[in-house]
Structure 1
Amino acid sequence: MSAIKLKIAITLIASSLALGGCKTLDPYTGEQKTSSAVKYGAIGAAICGIIGSRKSSKRARNAALGCGIVGASIGAYMDSQEKKLRESLEQTGVSIQREGDQIRLIMPGNITFATNQSSVQSSFHPVLNSVVTVLREYEETIIEVEGYTDSTGSWSHNMTLSEARAKAVSNYLQGGGIITQRLITTGKGPNNPIANNDTAEGRAQNRRVEIRIRAIQA
Structure 2
Amino acid sequence: MKIRRILTASLAAVSLISLSACVTDPNTGERKVSRTAIGGVGGVIAGGLLGGLIGGGTGRIIGAGIGGVAGAAVGYQKDKQIKELRESTAGSGVDVSTTDNGAAILVNLPDGVTFSTDSSEINPTFRATLDKLVASMNQYPDSLIDVYGHTDSTGSDTYNQALSERRAQAVANYLTSHGVNPARIRSQGFGETQPVASNATEEGRSRNRRVEIKIVPVTQDDVARARNGG
The whole-number CA distance in structure 1 between the counterparts of 2:69 and 2:193 is: 32
Determine if contact 1:41/1:217 at 8 Å carries over to the other structure.
no
Name the CA distance, whole Å, in 2 between partners of 1:127 and 1:86.
11
Count residues in correspondence: 172
Partner of 1:197: 199
Preserved contact between residue 86 and residue 95 of structure 2 (Cα < 8 Å): no
Task: Letter of the 1:46 partner, please give it.
Answer: G
Q: 1:46 aligns with which of 59, 63, 69?
A: 63
What is the correspondence of 1:10-159 to structure 2 with a 5 Å cutoff?
28=11, 36=52, 39-48=56-65, 67-99=67-99, 100-159=102-161
Aligned-pair CA distance for 1:159: 0.5
Indicate the structure with greater helix content: 1
Aligned match for 1:181, one of 180, 183, 188: 183
Q: Which amino acid aligns with 1:213?
A: I
* 1:118 counterpart SS class: coil
- Residue 6 of structure 1 corresponds to none
1:133 CA displacement: 0.7
One-letter code aligned to 1:155: D
Q: What residue is the counterpart of 1:172 in the other structure?
A: 174
Deviations 1:48-92 (A, max 9, x none): 2xx5xxxxxxxxxxxxxxx11232321112112112111111111
Gaps of 5+ in 1: 1-27, 52-66
Matching residue's letter, 1:97: S
Find the partner of 2:216 among 210, 214, 217. Answer: 214
Q: Match of 1:39, SS?
A: coil
Whether contact under 8 Å (1:111, 1:124) holds in the other structure is yes
> Could you tell me how far 1:156 is from its partner in structure 2?
0.7
Give, in angstroms, the shift of residue 109 of structure 1. Answer: 0.5
Match of 1:64 in 2: none
| Structure 2 residue matching 1:189: 3-state secondary structure | coil
Distance 2:73 2:56 in 1: 21
SS at match of 2:56: helix
Quote how far apart the aligned CAs of 1:164 are.
Answer: 0.2
The two structures have a TM-score, normalised by structure 1, of 0.74
DSSP 3-state at the match of 2:149? strand
* 1:117-173 deviation per Cα after TM superposition (whole angstroms, max 9, x unaligned): 000000101110111011111011111100000011111100000000001111111
- Aligned counterparts of 1:180 and 1:124: Cα–Cα separation in 2: 21
RMSD across aligned positions (CA)? 2.0
- The structure whose Rg is larger is 1
Q: Which amino acid aligns with 1:206?
A: N
Which residue does 1:8 correspond to in 2?
none
Q: Which has the higher contact order (CA 8 A, sep 6+)?
A: 2
- What is the SS of the residue equivalent to 1:185? strand
Q: Following TM superposition, by how much is the alpha carbon of 1:102 offset from its aligned partner in structure 2, in angstroms? A: 0.7
